[in-house]
Structure 1
Amino acid sequence: MTIDVTTVGFTTTDGVASHGDLAVPTEPRAVAIVCHPHPLHGGDRFHPVVTALHEVLPTIGVASLRFDFRADFDGGAGERLNARAALDEVTRRVGRMATFALGYSFGAMVVLGLDHHDLEGIVLVAPPLGRAELPDSSPAGTGALVVVAEHDRFAPPDVVAPITSTWPDTTVEVVESADHFLTGRGAEVASRTAEWVAGRLPPAGLSGRGPRRSRPSRRRRASG
């Protein structure tokens, strides 16, 4: 499989310039964005977990756009505009097809705050659900994968479980013996994510988003 990697630029609806890396496989079946952790704590699009997610997606036929949030932190509202612009940009460049949004830590909360009804699925890696203010709505319009570190000090499994228990079509993966930073566990997180995303892709030869498939919520522990 050939993967074409390009640095791209795009602009948000409020006029902020954004930059990112777009990786497109030869025959994409879906598109995705990957959102990075908190920019005021050193997060950017080159974070190891973000890189692992960004690099695994094209191997399963998903074009991936990772990008940097705006330089002037906006408390989440402006960052959601960055994410929305990234979704529009990857669709413009690759085509309208099944769409996913992924995020790690703060980036996961940005993804959770998006309008999900045009998304095939979202992936929330180490979302600080027990610390950050939750958006007004759960991801009711799409499926969700929530990857939780066993020893996450912000949102361990016993905090995440009751919050996500009412989310339909949600899978929770627990990465054992890991903390919020998931040091050295990026490949494992990426592998679990790829497995889940691959299960939601349209059949080969079809790229459009098909009818919503109802799936029960489930929980699984990922040993390390």
Structure 2
Amino acid sequence: MTDDLAPAPTTVTTADGLHLEAQWVRPARPRSTVVIAHPHPQHGGNMHSLVVSTLFTHLVDTGCAVLRFNFRGVGGSEGEHDFGEGEQLDVAAAVATLADAGPAPVPVVLAGWSFGADLAATCTAPEVAGWFLVAPPLRVLDPGRFKAGPDPRPTWLAVPERDQFNPPDQARTATADWINTEVHPVAGADHFLVGRTDRLNVLVDRFLDTLGT
């Protein structure tokens, strides 16, 4: 990552008035525009967690505009953990912040890992072009909250082959009635994707190519 593409701090303001700590990179002519949500705060998740950082760096290096943020109560973000309820407002605010950052609103790909993937699946803001969900447990909230499921916009699930919480076959069953959704196993990986994050980079590139954003 070159100095001119170094992450810059910004603030995401939620509908309930909280200010969330965030970083973004905004090239003048981005290949795509992506928001990334982090894993569970009560298990040490934040916007610098492994998969979030890997995707952020790769997407910036390939010319994308990217925003990552800390959920409420994490790091420098105001508020406190809300067990997936208030965090839905956090995701929606992050999408709106990046979509509206340029001279005109642009489509945003919404990505997330684990808890962040589940929360990403709750957001069907009009700016969302599609969802790239990494190792979603699909149990942070009631299944009816995953609004990406019945939405016709494309969703890819990047599911570790050895995921301890929701392996590929289980993910396929859980999303059998989702529209325009594909499950892509990540070979050799478990839920934490240590040593296998390069395979996510390949998958996210493929997903962005299908969108043409």
Place the TM-score, normalised by the shorter chain, in its bin. Answer: 0.7 to 0.9
Of the candidates 125, 131, 156, which is equivalent to residue 122 of structure 1? 131
State the alpha-carbon separation in 1 of the partners of residues 133 and 181 from structure 2. Answer: 11
**2:87 aligns with one of 58, 79, 91:** 79
Unaligned runs of at least 5 residues, structure 1: 203-224
Among 108, 115, 140, the alignment partner of 1:99 is 108
Does the aligned pair in 1 maintain the 2:96–2:127 contact within 8 Å?
A: no
For these two proteins, the number of residue pairs brought into alignment is 202
Q: Displacement, 1:62?
A: 2.5
Q: Give the counterpart letter for 2:119 in structure 1.
A: V
Q: What secondary structure, in the 3-state scheme, does the structure 2 residue paired with 1:93 have?
A: coil
Distance in 2, matches of 1:73 and 1:24, equals 29
Query: Identity over aligned residues, as a percent?
Result: 32
User: Partner amino acid for 1:143?
Assistant: P
Match in the other structure for 2:76: none
Distance 1:139 1:102 in 2: 17
Equivalent in the alignment of 2:192:
181
Aligned-pair distance for 1:93?
1.7
Report the CA distance between 1:130 and its aligned residue: 5.8
| Residue of 12, 19, 30 corresponding to 1:17 | 19
Give the match for residue 111 of structure 1: 120
* SS at 2:65 equivalent: strand
TM-score by structure 2 length? 0.86
1:31 to 30, 33, 37: 33
Instruction: Tell me the CA shift for residue 53 of structure 1.
Output: 1.1
Tell whether the 8 Å contact from 2:110 to 2:132 is kept in structure 1 after alignment. Answer: yes
Structure with the higher fraction of residues in strand conformation: 1
- Report the counterpart of residue 88 of structure 1 in structure 2: 96
User: In 1, distance between residues paired with 2:43 and 2:93?
Assistant: 23
Selected match of 1:53 from 34, 52, 55: 55
Question: How large is the RMSD of aligned CA atoms in angstroms?
Answer: 2.0
- Identify the residue that residue 212 of structure 1 maps to in structure 2: none
d(CA) in 2 for partners of 1:73, 1:168: 31
Q: Which runs of 5+ in 2 are unaligned?
A: 74-79
4+ runs deviating over 6 angstroms = none
The change in CA–CA distance for 1:148 and 1:14 in structure 2 (over 3 A counts) is same
Q: Give the superposition deviation at 1:129.
A: 2.3
3-state DSSP of counterpart to 2:184: strand
8 Å CA contact retained: 2:84, 2:140: no
Structure-2 separation of matches of 1:22 and 1:10: 11
For 1:114 and 1:166, the matched residues in 2 are separated by 18
Q: TM-score, normalised by structure 1?
A: 0.82
1:215 aligns to what? none
- Alpha-carbon distance in 2 for matches of 1:33, 1:186: 18
Contact kept? 1:56, 1:194, Cα under 8 Å: no
CA distance in 1, matches of 2:212, 2:60: 12
AA aligned opposite 1:106: F
Answer 1 or 2: higher relative contact order, Cα 8 Å, separation at least 6: 1
